[in-house]
């Protein structure tokens, strides 16, 4: 059999499991409580199938009800935790992030792209500067963050085009860039310069600079950032003072993550 032909085990794929995951993914920040018909519509499933999935998830502790609405329960976080634990990313990168945080007196984080959002997979901080405090598992729209623009800059052209077709560009502050043409320009600049910096776009007071983390073949698999409060510093000052140390840390982390196959694989999806 040719290595490019589909293998027989595909016949053993569990359709029920796939539908259950579709139901979980129907929930999001802007629709955290959904009725049965809403879940069915978003997940693209017949109402009867969606109902069976919801009842199963409820019995297992992943979903609860409030009147006619269904909501996810905290147990769902165990699924994401399993990914992080299997990769051991936080352990692999903790020393480098701690060193960055100590050198800058601020915070450092590592994130990956999940759909159109970034997800924090490791973070450390020596101070709490702003009301918006991210943590492992936090997710934000890619277009408003320095790490998101770095990750978008690393996408293949077709995948980036798909992103622009599907993403709704929402403003978080009056400084958030939401014009798709301008966002493309910023992504192109990031690709040329090898970094991205933002100020007051995700939240007032948040200023950050990010660089890519690469796998052995040169693909962008993660983003590393250093962030601060805009009362303490500016975007331009972050670039002058922290870009070199971020790039050095990125090279070190890239070496550490070379043995984490899941990251290299996810970068291609």
Same domain, yes or no, for 107 and 19?
no
3 within some domain: no
| CATH of residue 228 | 3.30.450.40
**Which of 140, 106, 98 lies closest to 237 in space, CA to CA?**
106
- No. of helices (H) and no. of strands (E), the chain: 10, 9
Helix, coil or strand: residue 223: strand
Q: Is the pLDDT of residue 1 over 80?
A: no
Same domain, yes or no, for 110 and 32?
no
1 within some domain: no
Average pLDDT over every residue of 23-37: 84
Quote the CA–CA distance of 48 and 53 in Å, as a whole number: 9
Helices of type H across the chain = 15-25, 36-43, 47-60, 77-87, 89-104, 146-153, 157-166, 180-193, 235-257, 261-266
The number of folded domains in the chain is: 2
Question: How many CB atoms neighbour CB 50 within 10 A?
Answer: 26
| Token digits of residue 64 | 């609860």
For residue range 158-184, what is the model confidence (pLDDT) as tens digits? 889 989 998 999 999 999 999 999 999
DSSP letter (8 states) at residue 229: E
Is-contact 31 38, C-beta < 8 A? yes
Average pLDDT over every residue of 3-29: 68
Contacts of 248 (CB under 8 A, 6+ apart): none
Question: How many CB atoms neighbour CB 79 within 10 A?
Answer: 11
Torsion of CA 260, 139, 122, 18, to 10 degrees: -30
Same domain, yes or no, for 229 and 147?
yes
251 within some domain: yes
Range of the domain at 12: 8-72
| CATH of residue 53 | 1.10.10.10
Confidence band, pLDDT 50/70/90 cuts, at residue 225: very high
Is-contact 153 178, C-beta < 8 A? no
Quote the CA–CA distance of 241 and 238 in Å, as a whole number: 5
Same domain, yes or no, for 103 and 21?
no
121 within some domain: yes
Same domain, yes or no, for 32 and 115?
no
Quote the CA–CA distance of 130 and 213 in Å, as a whole number: 26
Same domain, yes or no, for 55 and 163?
no
Average pLDDT over every residue of 83-109: 72
Same domain, yes or no, for 254 and 142?
yes
Least confident of 17-26, 77-86, 217-226: 77-86
Is-contact 204 173, C-beta < 8 A? yes
pTM for the structure as a whole: 0.66
Average pLDDT over every residue of 143-156: 94
Same domain, yes or no, for 142 and 165?
yes
Quote the CA–CA distance of 264 and 269 in Å, as a whole number: 10
Quote the CA–CA distance of 81 and 78 in Å, as a whole number: 5
Same domain, yes or no, for 25 and 113?
no
Same domain, yes or no, for 65 and 147?
no
Given this model, what pLDDT does residue 98 score? 83
Same domain, yes or no, for 236 and 259?
yes
Same domain, yes or no, for 37 and 160?
no
């Amino acid at each position: 059999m040719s290595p490019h032909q589909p293998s027989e085990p595909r016949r053993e794929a569990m359709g029920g499991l796939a539908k259950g995951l579709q139901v979980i993914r129907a929930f999001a920040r802007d629709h955290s409580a959904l009725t049965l018909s809403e879940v069915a519509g978003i997940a693209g499933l017949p109402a009867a199938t969606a109902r069976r999935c919801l009842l199963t998830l409820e019995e297992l502790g992943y979903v609860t009800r409030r009147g006619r609405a269904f909501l996810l329960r905290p147990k769902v976080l165990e699924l994401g935790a399993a990914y992080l634990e299997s990769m051991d990313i936080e352990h692999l990168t903790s020393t480098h992030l701690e060193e960055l945080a100590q050198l800058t007196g601020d915070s450092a984080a590592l994130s990956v792209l999940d759909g159109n959002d970034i997800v924090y997979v490791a973070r450390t901080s020596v101070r709490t500067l702003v009301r918006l405090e991210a943590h492992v598992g936090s997710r934000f729209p890619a277009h408003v963050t320095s790490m998101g623009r770095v990750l978008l800059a690393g996408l293949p052209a077709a995948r980036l085009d798909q992103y622009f077709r599907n993403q709704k560009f929402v403003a978080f502050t009056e400084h958030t860039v939401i014009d798709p043409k301008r966002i493309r320009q910023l992504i192109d600049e990031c690709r040329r310069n090898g970094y991205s910096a933002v100020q007051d776009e995700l939240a007032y007071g948040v200023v950050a600079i990010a660089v890519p983390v690469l796998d052995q073949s040169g693909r962008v698999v993660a983003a590393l950032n250093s962030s601060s409060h805009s009362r303490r510093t500016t975007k331009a000052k972050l670039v002058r003072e922290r870009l070199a140390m971020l790039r050095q840390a990125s090279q070190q982390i890239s070496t550490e993550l070379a043995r984490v196959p899941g990251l290299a694989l996810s970068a291609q999806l």
